C-alpha cells in the first residue's frame, strides 16, 4: 500500500510512519519542518530516514502537494498548526496552514491533477466541539456557549446551561454533538472536516475524520510552548520552577496515548467498509489538570511549587471527555493505555531528553499582551 503522510515528521506522524513501515507500506512524507515544532532539525529520525521517501515542502505549495500525491492509495493528512491559544492571535497563519493546506490537497484531487486516493484520513480535533456535551438537571442534554470573561473573573468556571443558566454536568461528547468551537484552531478543523467530507462524497473516495483528543507520549515536542501541558509541566518540574495552574485546577482533559492513536488510525486505513465517517479517538477517561501537575512534580521529586492561580485564557474549554462507543463499534477500537501507565512511560522518556530552557513564559507574555490571558 502506498501512503502519503503530510506532517509525517511530527509527533503523531513519526509514530504512524513506524507502524506503516512495519506493516509493509510504501511511505512518502511531506513536511516543512516548522521551526516552532522541530527547532533546527530538518530530517526524519534515523530509523525512518532510509525507508521513507521524504519530500521537504509545504502543504500550501500546490506543486509540492501535487508531486507528493502522485500514485498514493491513501492520504493521511496530519499537517497543521495546533495551538489553541496561539490561534486566537495568529489568525492568518492558522487559516493559511490549516484551511488553505487542506484546500490545496482537495483542489489537486478535484482538478484531476492526480488520481483520487482510495481513502483520505484527516486529523481533526476535539476542539471542534467547543465546550461539548453537558447535562442540565432542568433542560437535559445541552451544548453550552463559550464561557464569558465576566463569569470567569468571578471564579465561575463551569459552563452554564444555554437555556436556563444553571450549572450543568459534563457528559462524554458524541460525534453527533453540536459543533461550537471556542478557539480559531477548532474552527479551522471544523472547516477541514467539512471540506474533506464534501469532496469525498463528490469525487467518490472514502474519508475518515479522526477527532483526536489530547494526544501524548514519547517524542512529543518539549520545545513548543503553545501545545501540550504535559511537556510544559515536565519542563518546569525538571527546572524546579513554579508551576502556575490555570482556573481552579479542576478543568479536565481526555488524554489518549500515542500508541492507541496510531492503532486507531491504522485500523481506519485498513478498513474497507467505511465511506465517509467521523470518529472520536480518545481514552474516554477524564483527568483533572491539577492531578496531572501533582503527578509530574512527584515523579521528578521536584521542588516546583504548585499554585492554583485563577488565571484563565480565552478560547480554553473547561472539560473534555470523548464518547468512544462509535469507534468501538465500527473498528473494534479499545484503548489499551490508562493515563497513569502512559504518563509513566512518557515521563521516563522525558528524563532521557536534554533539559531545555523555559520558553513557556514567553507564550504567556504574548497572550497577556494581546488581552487573551486574564488574572
> 329-349 pLDDT, tens per residue?
999 999 999 999 999 999 999
Three-state secondary-structure class, residue 322: strand
The stretch 12-25 carries a mean pLDDT of 98
E strands present in the chain: 2-6, 26-31, 53-56, 74-77, 119-125, 134-136, 140-142, 169-170, 206-212, 214-216, 243-245, 252-253, 255-257, 276-281, 287-288, 306-308, 312-313, 373-374
CA geometry: angle at 250 spanning 246 and 254, to 5°? 100
The stretch 304-311 carries a mean pLDDT of 96
Q: What percent of the chain has pLDDT over 90?
A: 88
Three-state secondary-structure class, residue 107: helix
Percent helix, percent strand, percent coil in the chain, to nearest 5: 40, 20, 45
What phi and psi values does residue 277 have, to the nearest 5 degrees? -140, 155
The stretch 322-328 carries a mean pLDDT of 98
Residue 361 has pLDDT above 70, yes or no: yes
The stretch 99-110 carries a mean pLDDT of 96
Residue 223 has pLDDT above 90, yes or no: no
The stretch 211-224 carries a mean pLDDT of 93
Residue 263's alpha-carbon distances to 205, 230, 343, in angstroms, are: 22, 22, 18
Q: What is the DSSP letter of 160?
A: B
Task: Give the pLDDT score at 196.
Answer: 97
Residue 113 has pLDDT above 90, yes or no: no
| Termini Cα distance of the chain | 52
Strand arrangement of the beta sheet that strand 53-56 belongs to: 53-56, 26-31, 2-6, 74-77, 119-125, 206-212, 276-281
Asked if residues 318 and 159 have their Cβ atoms less than 8 Å apart, the reply is yes
Asked if residues 4 and 30 have their Cβ atoms less than 8 Å apart, the reply is yes
302's grid cell: 521536584
Measured CA to CA, the distance from residue 121 to residue 102 in angstroms comes to 12
Binned at pLDDT 50, 70 and 90, residue 39 comes out as confident
Three-state secondary-structure class, residue 101: helix
Asked if residues 339 and 287 have their Cβ atoms less than 8 Å apart, the reply is yes
Following DSSP, what letter does each residue of 27-82 receive, concatenated?
EEEEE---HHHHTT--S--TTTGGGSEEEE--TT-HHHHHHHHTT-SEEEE-----
Average pLDDT score, the chain: 95
Measured CA to CA, the distance from residue 11 to residue 227 in angstroms comes to 12
266's grid cell: 491504522
Q: What percent of the chain has pLDDT over 70?
A: 99
pTM of the full structure: 0.95
What phi and psi values does residue 106 have, to the nearest 5 degrees? -60, -40
- What amino acid positions are annotated as catalytic residues? 185
Binned at pLDDT 50, 70 and 90, residue 358 comes out as low
162's grid cell: 444555554
Measured CA to CA, the distance from residue 104 to residue 189 in angstroms comes to 15
305's grid cell: 511549587
Q: Strand 243-245 and strand 306-308: pairing?
A: parallel
Measured CA to CA, the distance from residue 281 to residue 200 in angstroms comes to 21
Asked if residues 180 and 143 have their Cβ atoms less than 8 Å apart, the reply is yes
Measured CA to CA, the distance from residue 227 to residue 272 in angstroms comes to 34
Task: Give the pLDDT score at 41.
Answer: 80
Asked if residues 184 and 86 have their Cβ atoms less than 8 Å apart, the reply is no
CATH code of 2-133+172-216+257-284+316-336, in short, is 3.40.50.720
For residue 135, what are the β-bridge partners?
141, 169
Query: Which residue has 472547516 as its cell numbers?
Result: 191
Measured CA to CA, the distance from residue 292 to residue 298 in angstroms comes to 10
Each residue's pLDDT tens digit, 53-78: 999 999 999 999 999 999 999 999 99
Three-state secondary-structure class, residue 308: strand
Amino acid at each position: 500500500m502506498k501512503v502519503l503522510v503530510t506532517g509525517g515528521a511530527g509527533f503523531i506522524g513519526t509514530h504512524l510512519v513506524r507502524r506503516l513501515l512495519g506493516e509493509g507500506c510504501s511511505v512518502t512524507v511531506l513536511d516543512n519542518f516548522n521551526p516552532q515544532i522541530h527547532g533546527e532539525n530538518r530530517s526524519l529520525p534515523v530509523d525512518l530516514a532510509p525507508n521513507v521517501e521524504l519530500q521537504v515542502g509545504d502543504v500550501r505549495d500546490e506543486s509540492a502537494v501535487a508531486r507528493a500525491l502522485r500514485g498514493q492509495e491513501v492520504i493521511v493528512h496530519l499537517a497543521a498548526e495546533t495551538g489553541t491559544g496561539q490561534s486566537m492571535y495568529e489568525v492568518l497563519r492558522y487559516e493559511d496552514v490549516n484551511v488553505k493546506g487542506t484546500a490545496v490537497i482537495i483542489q489537486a484531487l478535484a482538478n484531476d491533477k492526480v488520481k483520487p486516493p482510495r481513502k483520505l484520513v484527516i486529523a481533526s480535533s476535539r476542539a471542534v466541539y467547543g465546550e461539548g456535551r453537558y447535562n442540565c438537571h432542568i433542560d437535559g442534554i445541552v451544548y453550552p456557549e463559550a464561557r464569558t470573561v465576566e463569569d470567569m473573573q468571578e471564579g465561575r468556571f463551569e459552563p452554564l446551561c444555554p437555556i436556563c443558566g444553571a450549572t450543568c454536568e459534563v457528559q462524554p461528547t458524541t460525534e453527533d454533538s453540536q459543533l461550537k468551537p471556542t478557539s480559531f484552531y477548532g474552527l479551522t478543523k471544523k472547516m477541514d472536516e467539512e471540506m474533506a467530507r464534501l469532496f469525498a462524497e463528490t469525487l467518490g473516495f472514502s474519508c475518515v475524520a479522526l477527532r483526536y483528543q489530547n494526544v501524548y507520549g514519547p517524542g512529543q515536542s518539549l520545545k513548543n510552548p503553545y501545545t501540550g501541558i504535559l511537556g510544559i509541566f515536565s519542563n518546569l518540574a525538571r527546572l524546579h520552577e513554579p508551576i502556575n495552574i490555570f482556573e481552579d485546577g479542576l478543568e479536565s482533559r481526555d488524554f489518549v496515548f500515542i500508541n492507541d492513536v496510531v492503532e486507531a488510525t491504522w485500523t481506519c486505513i485498513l478498513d474497507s467498509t467505511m465511506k465517509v465517517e467521523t470518529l472520536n479517538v480518545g481514552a474516554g477517561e477524564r483527568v483533572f489538570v491539577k492531578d496531572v501537575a501533582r503527578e509530574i512534580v512527584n515523579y521528578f521529586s521536584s521542588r516546583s511549587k504548585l499554585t492554583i492561580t485563577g488565571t484563565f485564557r480565552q478560547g480554553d474549554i473547561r472539560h473534555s471527555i470523548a464518547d468512544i462507543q462509535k469507534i468501538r463499534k465500527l473498528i473494534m477500537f479499545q484503548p489499551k493505555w490508562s493515563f497513569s501507565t502512559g504518563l509513566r512511560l512518557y515521563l521516563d522518556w522525558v528524563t532521557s531528553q536534554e533539559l531545555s530552557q523555559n520558553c513557556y513564559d514567553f507564550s504567556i507574555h504574548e497572550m497577556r499582551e494581546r488581552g487573551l490571558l486574564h488574572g
